[in-house]
């Protein structure tokens, strides 16, 4: 399935393009190394500096650990100590709750926001990649993360994750979210590769069946993000807080792209494991991608993908976020690799041209994380440059097969030269 012969000259086969991807990845990794601080990794500002008083955060620590593990596996010197630092921070540092178990959002539970499925999915992903990188303590971290997911978050009855709890695992939130379950799907694909247990692929399929096959497909492939505990859609959720960075009102086209890619990875992973893969997986990946391109690209008359749309597919938040474009680009590559169709080659080139022209910051490093509606650097939703994860995966995924998952594929040498 991954050996499509393109009936045209594809950038995926271009040695020059692949060299560009490698160079951009190395540039991103170099910038992100400055995020290390005692207890984990913190949030860098627009110039790549840690602000005064910066503290470790679980999201950044997990994502940086995952990315530095992939960098080390590829042979980028200086990254293994960063992986080890991240593993130690997550295993026994102030991000982990030594009393009640699980992980806080910030060191020592500062500004306590409870225990969330979203963050724990990233801890599991970081642990799985650290195991592939051979970091000391990674297996122990993986076991701890899996145990919390199994005992606290996974609902066998629902076939999805519960959303969040208070720090002591009381007060379950009366909410179910597509975003946390999307990243659980990503983590489960990696867990299947690292542990060899295919029940993670069955769980990933159950999540996709619920959120994509049942809900998104019935909504014209606009991903419904917010649900109550009976999985009834909450269409007005956060109507008065449309710029929320994790739970915005309406639909989030960037997540439609991300889901489309994960659906293709799931299809490939199940086939690789000798498990049945429904035909609708490919059909839904196509639908998700097409719907997001149709309604979110150039939606307000300017190039770029808007952050959110309302239920009539009209722009709500017109800012352009870097992660949205990274995911769009990676998904175009995945569909191109899966189908060999020229439409996806065109989108792939279009997205990279836009990223190159508007997001890549060649003065201060990394990528601008947000652009305003006029495609100028902005900070209404995401200030600074705290995120390596989306941009780095965007330069890796076009060079990899659809399965196995990223760190394992890199370790196996399944990379376009």
Q: What angle do CA 333, 383, 324 make, to 5 degrees?
A: 20
Residue 3 has a pLDDT of 56
Distance CA 295, CA 168 (A): 42
**Catalytic machinery residues:** 255, 390
- Distance, in Å, from the CA atom of 239 to the CA atom of 100, rounded to the nearest integer, reads 34
Q: Give the C-alpha separation, 36 to 67, whole Å.
A: 13
Question: Cβ distance 42 to 388 under 8 Å?
Answer: no
Q: Is 116 helix (H, G, I), strand (E, B) or coil?
A: strand
Query: Cα–Cα distance between 226 and 110 in angstroms, integer?
Result: 26
Q: State how beta strands 115-116 and 370-371 pair.
A: unpaired
Please state the pTM of the whole predicted model: 0.97
Q: What is the DSSP letter of 293?
A: H
Q: For residue 371, what are the β-bridge partners?
A: 320, 377
Each residue's pLDDT, cut to its tens digit, for the chain (417 residues) gives: 445 777 789 999 999 999 999 999 999 999 999 999 999 999 999 999 999 999 999 999 999 999 999 999 999 999 999 999 999 999 999 999 999 999 999 988 888 879 999 999 999 999 999 999 999 999 999 999 999 999 999 999 999 999 999 999 999 999 999 999 999 999 999 999 999 999 999 999 999 999 999 999 999 999 999 999 999 999 999 999 999 999 999 999 999 999 999 999 999 999 999 999 999 999 999 999 999 999 999 999 999 999 999 999 999 999 999 999 999 999 999 999 999 999 999 999 999 999 999 999 999 999 999 999 999 999 999 899 999 999 999 999 999 999 999 999 999 998 886
- Burial tier of 54 (Cβ tally within 10 Å: 0-12, 13-18, 19+): middle
d(CA 289, CA 336) in angstroms, rounded, equals 12
What are the two backbone dihedrals, phi and then psi, of residue 161, each rounded to the nearest 5 degrees? -90, 140
Reading the block at residue 156, the tokens are: 């066998």
CATH number for the domain formed by residue range(s) 11-411: 1.50.10.10
Give the list of residues 6+ apart from residue 33 with CB closer than 8 angstroms, or none: 78, 82
Total count of residues recorded for the chain: 417
Domain boundary assignment for the chain = 11-411
Between strands 154-155 and 115-116, the pairing is unpaired
């Amino acid at each position: 399935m991954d050996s499509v012969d393109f009936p045209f000259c594809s950038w995926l086969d271009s040695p020059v393009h692949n060299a560009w991807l490698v160079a951009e990845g190395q540039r991103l990794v170099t910038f992100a190394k400055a995020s290390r601080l005692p207890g984990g990794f913190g949030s860098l500002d627009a110039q790549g500096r840690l602000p005064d008083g910066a503290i470790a955060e679980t999201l950044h620590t997990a994502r940086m650990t995952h990315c530095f593990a992939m960098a080390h596996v590829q042979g980028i010197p200086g990254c293994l100590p960063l992986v080890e630092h991240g593993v130690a921070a997550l295993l026994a540092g102030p991000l982990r709750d030594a009393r009640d178990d699980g992980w806080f959002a910030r060191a020592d539970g500062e500004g306590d926001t409870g225990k969330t499925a979203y963050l724990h999915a990233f801890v599991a992903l970081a642990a799985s990649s650290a195991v592939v990188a051979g970091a000391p303590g990674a297996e122990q971290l993986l076991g701890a993360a899996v145990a919390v997911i199994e005992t606290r978050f996974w609902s066998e009855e629902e076939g999805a994750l519960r959303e969040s709890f208070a720090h002591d695992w009381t007060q379950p939130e009366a909410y179910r979210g597509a975003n946390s379950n999307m990243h659980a799907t990503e983590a489960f694909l990696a867990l299947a590769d690292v542990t060899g247990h295919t029940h993670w692929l069955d769980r990933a399929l159950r999540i996709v069946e619920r959120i994509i096959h049942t809900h998104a497909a019935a909504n014209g492939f606009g991903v419904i993000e917010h649900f109550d505990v009976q999985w009834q859609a909450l269409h007005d959720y956060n109507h008065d807080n449309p710029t929320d960075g994790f739970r915005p009102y309406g639909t989030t086209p960037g997540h439609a792209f991300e889901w489309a890619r994960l659906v293709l990875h799931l299809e490939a992973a199940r086939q690789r494991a000798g498990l049945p893969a429904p035909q609708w997986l490919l059909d839904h990946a196509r639908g998700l991608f097409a719907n997001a391109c149709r309604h979110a690209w150039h939606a307000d008359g300017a190039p770029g993908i808007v952050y959110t749309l309302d239920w009539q597919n009209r722009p709500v938040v017109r800012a352009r976020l870097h992660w949205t474009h990274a995911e769009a680009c990676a998904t175009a590559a995945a569909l191109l690799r899966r189908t060999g169709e020229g439409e996806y080659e065109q989108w792939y080139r279009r997205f990279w041209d836009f990223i190159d022209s508007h997001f890549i910051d060649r003065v201060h490093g990394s990528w601008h994380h947000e652009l305003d509606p006029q495609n100028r650097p902005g900070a209404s939703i995401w200030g600074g440059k705290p995120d390596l994860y989306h941009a780095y995966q965007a330069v890796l995924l076009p060079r990899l097969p659809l399965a196995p998952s990223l760190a394992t594929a890199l370790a196996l040498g399944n990379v376009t030269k």
